[in-house]
């Protein structure tokens, strides 16, 4: 029996475990990336581990999230990251050089390599044939120190692509169709592997758009083959020597399979407030549009931008629409400027943003009250744009550009001849905004601003836990709900005490004060709890507030890992109906919990207030149980290094 691509990469990097779905496996990590929103904490954690130099093939620190500098906080964090990177052997991508996933695809990604990133959209690298996985900052810190990355061996779902995209239909429509079929929970426990004749018709940037939004499926990652298309992309980047051929064996076996007929797809749109709330642009109709954003790590490649420029040339943005465009990297922006495409955008009335994440994460360009905002980014969670009442629709660059001109949601197929751009034979390469690390790190002083505070560290798991239920939330709670991320809060990502005042603010603004008054307690959640961003702050802030356990119907992968890394118990209801047997302020007891975790014994929650016994499940590997017992990954890592 042959291997699929995902299995081949895992097998070649396997440190321990067996490649059986659900089994704990540890894999060697070749590359890491961080961004400034999560990076400050990751490097603080790396320093705490006490390793003098990173041990990966290459690690890169990007500045792309917190680029609005309304105060000293962001600039201080950037200086800290720059100096800590220089000291410990990490390349530093300066502010303005671009979005981490776009730049990494252009300059560092290699087929067949493993990449771990402190950003949930790290799977973008799968467009190059990498096994690229998003994780919490502490996991990345451990990987930078040479430690293996542990995960439950995923199943592999084959996405068989047949046919070829019709004019005006793009890669964004492909992944929206996958989301429509599988939902935001449909990829949990899976790697999505794309195959079939249709793959050959997709460029690397198109493939990267698809793998990027695999994160919205809840998938561990997504991956494409490395073929001649991959080779041509790397050659155009001046990196042909990084290419290897990588494909599934002819007799490879998959755990599941779906087929997408590219030729049957039409322009699609994800309606508010979930990426899987997908319909056709035609069905949604000509709704009035107030704002359009074209960019983000999903659709900010040179090809995307050139296509948009061709559509805007000679036209004028509708007077009722604010059109903002964010090229994904300095390379993309430079090439647009030299080709004249940038001038065409500006002539049409577009507002050009710096090469950064920007509006996608609520960092500027918040829409007006009750606005309809069309965006090419990957998430449209309620309030994520910075405006709670805004309605965000996810669309392709083609749909976005057509709608910006017309003033209403517009099917680009009504525009006549297609305007799609081609991939350049040669990209402009200038890496002068990527600083290499110092050869001798001992000579570098790490600069720490006053906004950088110590991060919370848990204590070993107690024998018993008795506390109240502090909050009860429903299904599909995102990390944006748990720890909001906007222009006002992003500058405080290295200040957990300050952030704690806003924990669960969209759900219950009184949660922080209640948690402090009660000296911590339990969180009760619904299904898919913690979906969305990889930000470990959604675990670190509850840890700071004294949360002992989260009891939910089910968890999103990265957030569950972050809870375990923080030493917080991720418990699930054995019977989902028991969710209704717990309310806020109920006194809950976990008796002999340390012994039960240690010995993998059944766990029963005692609801003292309602006098009920509720069976719970704790689905952890043997290693994860050790992490929980130790009070988190940092404590466990230190214990291991001392033995």
The pLDDT of residue 218? 92
Q: Which two tokens stand for residue 80?
A: 């800290």
Average pLDDT across the chain, whole number: 94
Q: Is 379 among the residues known to form the active site?
A: yes
Dist CA 629 CA 623 (whole Å):
10
Catalytic residue (choose from 37, 222, 296, 533): 533
Residue 68's pLDDT is what?
Answer: 81
User: What homologous superfamily does CATH list for 5-264?
Assistant: Aconitase, domain 3 (3.30.499.10)
Catalytic member of 30, 64, 173, 411: 64
269-415 shares the fold of 5-264: yes
> Span 465-642: which CATH code?
3.20.19.10
pLDDT of res. 361: 79
Q: Tell me, yes or no, if 623 is annotated catalytic.
A: no
For residues 220 and 189, is the Cβ–Cβ distance under 8 A?
A: yes
Ranges of each domain in the chain: 5-264, 269-415, 465-642
Euclidean distance between the first and final Cα of the chain, in Å?
Answer: 41
Q: How many other C-beta atoms lie within 10 A of the C-beta of residue 374? A: 29
Residues 6+ apart with CB under 8 A from 320: 288, 289, 290, 407
Give the Cα separation of 224 and 231 in Å (integer).
13
Cα radius of gyration (the chain): 24
Dist. CA 87–CA 252, nearest whole Å: 44
Please give the order of strands across the beta sheet that includes 131-134: 131-134, 114-117, 31-35, 58-62, 91-93, 434-435
Q: How far apart are alpha carbons 251 and 244 in whole angstroms?
A: 21
Cβ proximity of 479 and 507 under 8 Å: no
pLDDT reported for residue 639? 80
- Is 535 annotated as catalytic? yes
The pair of three-digit structure tokens given for residue 141, joined into one six-digit string: 């810190």
- So what's the pLDDT on residue 493? 82
Angle between helices 72-88 and 36-49 (to 10 degrees): 50
Is 533:480 a contact under the CB 8 Å cutoff?
yes
For 541-585, the pLDDT digits (tens) are: 999 999 999 999 999 988 999 999 999 999 999 999 999 999 999
Candidates 150, 535, 537, 557; catalytic one = 535
Give the neighbor-by-neighbor strand order of the sheet with 322-325: 278-280, 268-270, 391-394, 372-375, 291-294, 322-325, 351-352
- pLDDT for the residue 544: 96
- The number of beta carbons lying within 10 Å of the beta carbon of residue 445 is 8
Q: Which of 77, 119, 304, 480 is catalytic?
A: 119
- Catalytic residue status for 64: yes
pTM: 0.91
pLDDT of residue 558: 87
Catalytic status, residue 431? no
pLDDT digits (tens, 9 = 90+) for 170-190: 999 999 999 999 999 899 999
Q: Residues of the chain whose pLDDT is less than 70?
A: 641-643
413 a catalytic residue: no
In a 3-state reduction of DSSP, which class is residue 642?
A: helix
* CA separation, residue 522 to residues 146, 279, 537, 634 (Å): 34, 38, 17, 22
Span 269-415 CATH architecture? 2-Layer Sandwich (3.30)
pLDDT of residue 466: 97
């Amino acid at each position: 029996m042959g291997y699929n691509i995902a299995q081949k990469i895992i097998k070649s990097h396997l440190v321990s475990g067996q490649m059986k779905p659900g089994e704990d496996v540890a894999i060697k990590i070749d590359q890491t990336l961080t961004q400034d929103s999560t990076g400050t904490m990751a490097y603080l954690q790396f320093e705490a581990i006490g390793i003098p130099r990173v041990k990966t093939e290459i690690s890169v620190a990007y500045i792309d999230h917190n680029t609005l500098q309304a105060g000293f906080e962001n600039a201080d964090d950037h200086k800290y990251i720059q100096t800590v990177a220089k000291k410990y052997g990490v390349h530093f991508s300066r502010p303005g050089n671009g979005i981490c996933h776009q730049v990494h695809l252009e300059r560092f990604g290699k087929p067949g390599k493993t990449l771990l990133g402190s950003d949930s959209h790290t799977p973008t690298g799968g467009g190059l044939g990498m096994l690229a996985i998003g994780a919490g900052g502490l996991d990345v810190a451990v990987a930078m120190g040479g430690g293996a990355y542990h995960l439950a061996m995923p199943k592999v779902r084959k996405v068989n692509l047949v046919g070829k995209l019709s004019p005006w239909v793009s890669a964004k429509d492909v992944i929206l169709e996958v989301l429509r079929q599988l939902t935001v929970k449909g990829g949990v426990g899976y790697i999505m592997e794309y195959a079939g004749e249709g793959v050959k018709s997709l460029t690397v940037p198109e493939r990267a758009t698809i793998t990027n939004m695999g994160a919205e499926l809840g998938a561990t990652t997504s991956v494409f083959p490395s073929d001649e298309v991959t080779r041509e992309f790397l050659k155009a980047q001046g990196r042909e020597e990084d290419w290897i051929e990588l494909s599934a064996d002819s007799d490879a076996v998959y755990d599941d399979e779906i087929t997408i007929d590219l030729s049957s797809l039409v322009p699609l749109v994800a309606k508010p407030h979930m990426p899987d709330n997908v319909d056709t642009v035609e069905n949604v109709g000509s709704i009035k549009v107030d704002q359009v954003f074209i960019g983000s790590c999903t659709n900010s490649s040179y090809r995307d931008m050139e296509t948009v420029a061709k559509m805007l040339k000679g036209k004028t943005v509708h007077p009722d629409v604010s059109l903002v465009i964010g090229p994904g990297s300095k390379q993309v922006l430079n090439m647009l400027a030299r080709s004249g495409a940038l001038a065409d955008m500006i002539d049409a009335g577009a507002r050009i943003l710096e090469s950064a994440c920007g509006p996608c994460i609520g960092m500027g360009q918040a829409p007006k009250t009750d606005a309809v905002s069309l965006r090419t980014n990957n998430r449209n969670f309620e309030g994520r744009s910075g405006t709670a009442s805004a309605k965000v629709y996810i669309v392709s660059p083609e749909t976005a550009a057509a709608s910006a001109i017309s003033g209403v949601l517009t099917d680009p197929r009504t525009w006549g001849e297609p305007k799609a751009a081609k991939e350049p034979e040669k990209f402009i390469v200038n890496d002068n905004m990527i600083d290499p690390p110092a050869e001798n790190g001992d000579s570098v002083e790490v600069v720490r601003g006053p906004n950088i505070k110590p991060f919370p560290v848990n204590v070993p798991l107690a024998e018993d836990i008795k506390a109240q239920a502090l909050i009860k939330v429903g299904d599909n709670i995102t990390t944006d709900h748990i720890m909001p991320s906007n222009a006002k809060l992003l500058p405080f990502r290295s200040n957990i005490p300050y952030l704690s005042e806003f924990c669960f603010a969209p759900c219950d603004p009184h949660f922080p004060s209640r948690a402090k008054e009660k000296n911590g307690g339990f969180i009760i959640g619904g299904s898919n709890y913690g979906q969305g961003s990889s930000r470990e702050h959604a675990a670190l802030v509850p840890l700071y507030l004294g949360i002992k356990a989260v009891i939910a119907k089910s968890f999103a992968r990265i957030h569950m890992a972050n809870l375990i890394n923080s030493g917080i118990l991720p418990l699930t209801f054995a019977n989902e109906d028991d969710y209704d047997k717990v309310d806020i302020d109920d006194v809950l007891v976990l008796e002999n919990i340390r012994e039960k975790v240690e010995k993998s014994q059944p766990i029963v929650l005692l609801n003292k207030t309602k006098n009920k016994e509720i069976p719970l499940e704790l689905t952890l590997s043997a290693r994860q149980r050790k992490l929980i017992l130790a009070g988190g990954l940092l404590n466990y890592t230190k214990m291991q290094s001392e033995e």
